[in-house]
């Protein structure tokens, strides 16, 4: 009978899940804490040893106050976008008030409705994975609660119907079978599975919008990486420890190892500083972008069109995505070949050597790839990769003139301290200028690392109106994060006439010695500078203090990092498969399913036919082979079906005859000899006369006689015969054909009586 008491705890849990879900959706942890604490308190107060509840007037007052307070807050802020949030918050407090109120059926219904509305309000507010998980949990708990509530309500109604008679009717004795609780659990689980399966089906088939705006970005995953730098926005800098991917460096001899310096994984090259927008953006791509298709067998596809022969030894970088889907292919300078876990279309910009996945399917998912790289590529290789593309003049210009004197003074200071040679004059060769530019970049980067401070917290730095953030960084604050260091270095170098560009991507610092790979986290998003060192050659210069990055990495490390990628993968799955599921993904999915079914079925059929042909050839069956196989297949199927039917029938007969406790020999005998009785019962049941369990066969026959004399008589004879077989030691029909005839005649007589009865009833 515990089933009837459990609905209270179930409805309480449902309310808690709804409150937690909405708080997570709103990212309001104060409400989460307060709501859960008050809800738990309500359970102690209402269901504890004293069992007190809030009077109706007090509960109603709390409800009115909650509505009034939230309405006041909403009207005072006046943000229409927060309307659903205000409504949800009001509902949370009303729900908590209801948890303290009396447990009447109406209150229960209101609590259920409020919980559901809270979850729906949360759906309009958030698409986070954690909230989605709570929605699924809510669905499961709601099913459980509803089923328990239905039972409790029915019991209450049945009791109430007796109470209405004012003592006339005896109290209700609840009719209950065996093992009700375990079976109820099973039924709840089955119902949950049916609902979830149906829900998934409806979700997949529900007509969708062509594109789900912001959600499509979620399909590509969120990370610290972007292909532009906005210096005024501090929100890009994240300390998230989410594991995005792993990188393994494999030497040309095939051994994995850790590099002396952190790996810089290039994602985007930013060549243009937009002074008005205070941001670095990529130069517009020009003609010359090549696209290639990676092979299916995982072999490397060469990125250069006219590769030098021989290409030279190359290391391999193995990148395994953990929870990151993007069209950017992160590579180490300079990539010469790529292999992917599945065939993809890859584009390469010869001017920047930035790789992109340009495959057309939009099913948000991630895939792994390997790159062959040459850290110090030959000039021929670089020429082959760049395909003769000349670097543009934009790499030499910087739009802010006020940086030039800063750069000059910084150069003078550097030259005084580091022995940097003077700047080559206009008669110097390009090679001399390139060498000086490289040395200057190194010296200025070292200067920045020494004299500037790394910080991710820019909130304490006041903004100076009308002053560019790069200028502020170089002159006023002298502190910032990697974007400021890279921007400052690039601005100074360009002002000094050294071609430079900013690269964004990730820096791989954390190395796992056990699995011999680098772990790249969201917080490893990085920006650095590349300086031109030759006609097609660029060299990475990182002005950010490496020690600060390592210290930051170490400071945030915890044991949870080992498991963070699991949550990251789930979150990615949620974002890519649920949140960003739109019309195009729906269409892709439908085509893929259709194609895979067709392919799989066709493949199996062709395999089967080939096998049959081979057997037919081996056995020299000739053209009749097909007919033979068909005959054998039909025979096998028929035999299996017959065995199945016989087994089922025997099992059913044993159960109907109630001989499961007898010896096997006795069971066999009775199943063989007394089957006619079960057949008679079946005939009667089909005719609408079901034998109640509490009646013996003879009593049932006598009862039938009172209904229909002829029918009763016919069945009485069957019963007598059954008694003689079951208890009287009759041999049954198997040993005497006369007995079989007798059974048959009895059944025929019964059938005639049934027909007669049916005709009579029809006439009536």
Partner 1 sequence: MPLANDIPKRRTRVIRAGVVYAGVVLAIGIAAGSRPNNLLVWVFACLLAALVASGIVSGFMMMPLRAVRIEPRRGRVGEPLLVRYEIQNSSRVIPAYDLHVAEVDATKASGLEPAGEAWVLHVGPGDRVHAEAVFRPMRRGTLRLARFEVTSTFPFDLLRKVLIYTQPAEVLIHPEVHPLREGVLERVTAGGAGGQRMSSEGGGTDDFFGVREYRPGDSVRQIAWKRLAGTGKLASIERSRSVPPRVRILLDLSRPTSALRVTEGEDARELEERAIVLAASFIAYCDQLGYEYALSVAGLPIPPVALRRGHFHREKIMSLLAALDLELPRAAGNGLSASEERATTIVVHADRTDTSVAPSEAWHFTARQLESLIARDPTKIAADERAPTASQRREVRA
**Binding to partner 1 (CB under 8 A): which residues in 741-760?**
none
**What sign does the CA torsion over 214, 220, 223, 225 have?**
negative
CB of 39 to partner 1, least distance (A): 22
CB of 568 to partner 1, least distance (A): 20
Closest to 21 in 3D by CA, of 140, 133, 143, 144: 133
The one among 24, 96, 212, 325 contacting partner 1 by CB under 8 A? 212
115 scored as a contact of partner 1 (CB under 8 A):
no
The one among 375, 405, 595, 688 contacting partner 1 by CB under 8 A? 688
The one among 177, 422, 462, 729 contacting partner 1 by CB under 8 A? 177
Q: Where does this chain touch partner 1 (CB under 8 A) — which range of 177-185, 388-396, 592-600, 607-615?
A: 177-185
85-114 residues near partner 1, rule: CB under 8 A: none
- The size of the interface with partner 1 (CB under 8 A), counted in residues, is 83
Q: Where does this chain touch partner 1 (CB under 8 A) — which range of 99-107, 127-135, 502-510, 734-742?
A: 127-135
Closest to 370 in 3D by CA, of 310, 301, 267, 307: 301
Instruction: Collect all residues with Cβ–Cβ distance below 8 Å to 359 and sequence separation of at least 6.
Output: 344, 345
Sheet holding 500-508, edge to edge: 263-270, 500-508, 525-532, 538-541
207 scored as a contact of partner 1 (CB under 8 A):
yes
CB of 647 to partner 1, least distance (A): 14
CB of 187 to partner 1, least distance (A): 6
CA distance readout (Å), 128 to 19, 336, 362, 573, 614: 16, 39, 20, 11, 56
DSSP letter, residue 393: G
Contact 315, 252 (CB under 8 A): yes
Which two structure tokens, joined as six digits, stand for 528? Answer: 């650095």
178 scored as a contact of partner 1 (CB under 8 A):
yes
Q: Which is nearer to partner 1, 374 or 580 (CB)?
A: 580
Instruction: Collect all residues with Cβ–Cβ distance below 8 Å to 392 and sequence separation of at least 6.
Output: 271, 283, 351
689 scored as a contact of partner 1 (CB under 8 A):
yes
The one among 37, 200, 379, 566 contacting partner 1 by CB under 8 A? 200
175 scored as a contact of partner 1 (CB under 8 A):
yes
336-375 residues near partner 1, rule: CB under 8 A: none
Helix (H) or strand (E) holding 263: strand 263-270
728 scored as a contact of partner 1 (CB under 8 A):
no
Helix (H) or strand (E) holding 555: helix 546-555
Q: List the x/- string, 413-442, binding to partner 1 by CB under 8 A.
A: ------------------------------
623 scored as a contact of partner 1 (CB under 8 A):
no
Q: Which is nearer to partner 1, 489 or 681 (CB)?
A: 681
Q: Where does this chain touch partner 1 (CB under 8 A) — which range of 86-94, 349-357, 388-396, 689-697?
A: 689-697
Cα within 13 Å of Cα(698), Cβ side: 4
* Cα separation, 715 vs 709, whole angstroms: 10
Q: Which is nearer to partner 1, 578 or 621 (CB)?
A: 578
618 scored as a contact of partner 1 (CB under 8 A):
no
213 scored as a contact of partner 1 (CB under 8 A):
yes
Torsions phi, psi of 518, nearest 5?
A: -85, 145
Please classify residue 286 by burial: count the beta carbons closer than 10 Å to its beta carbon, then call 0-12 exposed, 13-18 middle and 19+ buried. exposed
168 scored as a contact of partner 1 (CB under 8 A):
yes
* Cα separation, 453 vs 461, whole angstroms: 13
289 scored as a contact of partner 1 (CB under 8 A):
no
Q: Where does this chain touch partner 1 (CB under 8 A) — which range of 173-181, 283-291, 605-613, 743-751?
A: 173-181
* Cα separation, 200 vs 206, whole angstroms: 10
CA distance readout (Å), 675 to 427, 701, 755: 114, 18, 21
701-720 residues near partner 1, rule: CB under 8 A: 702-704, 706-707
26 scored as a contact of partner 1 (CB under 8 A):
no
**What sign does the CA torsion over 369, 372, 375, 379 have?**
negative
The one among 50, 179, 555, 762 contacting partner 1 by CB under 8 A? 179
Q: Where does this chain touch partner 1 (CB under 8 A) — which range of 78-86, 125-133, 462-470, 613-621?
A: 125-133
Q: Which is nearer to partner 1, 611 or 707 (CB)?
A: 707
CB of 212 to partner 1, least distance (A): 4
180 scored as a contact of partner 1 (CB under 8 A):
yes
Q: Which is nearer to partner 1, 33 or 209 (CB)?
A: 209
Q: Where does this chain touch partner 1 (CB under 8 A) — which range of 75-83, 89-97, 122-130, 310-318?
A: 122-130
550 scored as a contact of partner 1 (CB under 8 A):
no
CB of 527 to partner 1, least distance (A): 33
* Cα separation, 528 vs 264, whole angstroms: 9
The one among 42, 53, 126, 326 contacting partner 1 by CB under 8 A? 126
DSSP letter, residue 492: H
Q: List the x/- string, 129-158, binding to partner 1 by CB under 8 A.
A: --xx--x---x---x--xx-xxx-xxx-xx
Please classify residue 97 by burial: count the beta carbons closer than 10 Å to its beta carbon, then call 0-12 exposed, 13-18 middle and 19+ buried. buried
464 scored as a contact of partner 1 (CB under 8 A):
no
| Residues facing 411 on adjacent strands | none
Torsion of CA 188, 193, 198, 201, to 10 degrees: 170
DSSP letter, residue 307: -
565-594 residues near partner 1, rule: CB under 8 A: 578-582
Instruction: Collect all residues with Cβ–Cβ distance below 8 Å to 270 and sequence separation of at least 6.
Output: 227, 228, 229, 280, 281, 282, 501, 502, 503, 504
* Cα separation, 410 vs 495, whole angstroms: 11
The one among 37, 64, 65, 197 contacting partner 1 by CB under 8 A? 197
């Amino acid at each position: 009978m515990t089933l009837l008491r459990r609905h209270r705890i179930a409805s309480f849990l449902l309310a808690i899940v709804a409150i937690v879900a909405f708080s997570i959706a709103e990212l309001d942890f104060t409400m989460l804490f307060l709501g859960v604490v008050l809800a738990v308190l309500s359970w102690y107060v209402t269901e504890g040893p004293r069992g007190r509840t809030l009077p109706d007037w007090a509960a109603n007052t709390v409800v009115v106050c909650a509505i009034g307070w939230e309405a006041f807050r909403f009207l005072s802020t006046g943000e229409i976008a927060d309307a659903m949030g205000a409504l949800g918050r009001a509902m949370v407090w009303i729900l908590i008030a209801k948890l303290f109120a009396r447990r009447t059926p109406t209150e229960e219904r209101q609590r259920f409705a409020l919980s559901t509305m809270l979850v729906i309000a949360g759906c309009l507010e958030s698409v986070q994975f954690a909230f989605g998980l709570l929605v699924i949990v809510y669905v499961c708990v709601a099913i459980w609660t509803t089923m328990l509530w239905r039972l409790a309500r029915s019991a209450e109604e049945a009791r109430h119907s007796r109470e209405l008679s004012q003592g006339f009717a005896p109290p209700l004795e609840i009719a209950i079978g065996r093992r009700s609780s375990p079976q109820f659990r099973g039924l709840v689980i089955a119902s949950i599975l049916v609902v979830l399966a149906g829900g998934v089906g409806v979700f997949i088939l529900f007509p969708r919008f062509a594109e789900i705006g912001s959600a499509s970005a979620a399909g590509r995953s969120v990370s610290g990486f972007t292909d532009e730098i906005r210096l005024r926005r501090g929100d890009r800098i994240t300390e998230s420890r989410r594991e995005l991917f792993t990188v393994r460096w494999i030497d040309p001899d095939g051994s994995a190892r850790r590099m002396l310096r952190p790996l810089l994984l290039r994602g985007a090259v930013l060549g243009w500083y937009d002074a008005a927008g205070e941001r670095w953006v990529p130069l517009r791509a020009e003609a010359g972008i090549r696209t290639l298709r990676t092979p299916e067998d995982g072999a490397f596809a060469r990125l250069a069109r006219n590769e030098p022969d021989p290409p030279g030894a190359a290391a391999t970088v193995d990148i395994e995505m953990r929870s990151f889907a993007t069209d950017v292919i992160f590579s180490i300078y300079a990539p010469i070949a790529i292999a992917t876990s599945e065939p993809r279309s890859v584009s390469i910009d010869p001017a920047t050597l930035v790789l992109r996945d340009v495959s057309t399917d939009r099913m948000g998912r991630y895939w792994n790839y390997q790159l062959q790289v040459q850290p110090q590529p030959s000039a021929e290789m670089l020429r082959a990769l760049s395909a003769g593309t000349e670097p543009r003049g934009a790499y030499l210009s910087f739009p802010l003139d006020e940086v030039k004197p800063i750069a000059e003074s910084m150069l003078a200071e550097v030259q005084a301290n580091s022995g940097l040679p003077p700047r080559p004059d206009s008669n110097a060769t390009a090679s001399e200028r390139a060498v000086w530019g490289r040395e200057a970049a190194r010296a200025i980067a070292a200067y920045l690392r020494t004299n500037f401070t790394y910080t991710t917290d820019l909130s304490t730095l006041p903004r100076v109106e009308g002053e560019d953030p790069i200028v502020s960084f170089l002159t006023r604050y002298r502190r910032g994060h990697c974007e400021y260091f890279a921007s400052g270095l690039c601005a100074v170098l360009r002002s000094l006439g050294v071609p430079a560009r900013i690269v964004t991507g990730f820096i791989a610092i954390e190395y796992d010695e056990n699995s011999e790979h680098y772990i790249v986290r969201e917080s490893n998003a990085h920006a650095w500078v590349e300086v031109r060192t030759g006609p097609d050659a660029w060299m990475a210069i990182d002005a950010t203090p490496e020690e600060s990055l390592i210290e930051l990495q170490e400071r945030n490390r915890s044991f949870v990092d080992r498991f963070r990628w699991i949550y990251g993968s789930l979150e990615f799955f949620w974002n890519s498969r649920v949140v960003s599921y739109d019309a195009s993904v729906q269409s892709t999915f439908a085509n893929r399913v259709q194609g895979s079914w067709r392919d799989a079925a066709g493949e199996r059929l062709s395999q089967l036919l080939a096998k049959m042909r081979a057997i037919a050839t081996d056995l020299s069956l000739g053209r009749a082979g097909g007919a033979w196989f068909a005959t054998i297949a039909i025979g096998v199927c028929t035999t299996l079906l017959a065995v199945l039917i016989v087994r089922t029938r025997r099992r059913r007969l044993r159960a109907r005859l109630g001989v499961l406790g007898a010896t096997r020999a006795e069971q066999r005998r009775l199943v063989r000899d007394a089957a006619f009785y079960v057949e008679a019962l079946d005939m009667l049941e089909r005719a609408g006369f079901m034998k109640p369990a509490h009646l013996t066969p003879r009593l049932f026959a006598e009862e039938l006689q009172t209904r229909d004399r002829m029918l009763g008589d016919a069945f009485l004879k069957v019963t007598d015969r059954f008694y003689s077989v079951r208890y009287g030691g009759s041999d049954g029909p198997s040993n005497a054909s006369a007995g079989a005839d007798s059974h048959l005649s009895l059944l025929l007589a019964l059938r005639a009586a049934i027909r007669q009865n049916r005709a009579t009833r029809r006439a009536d």
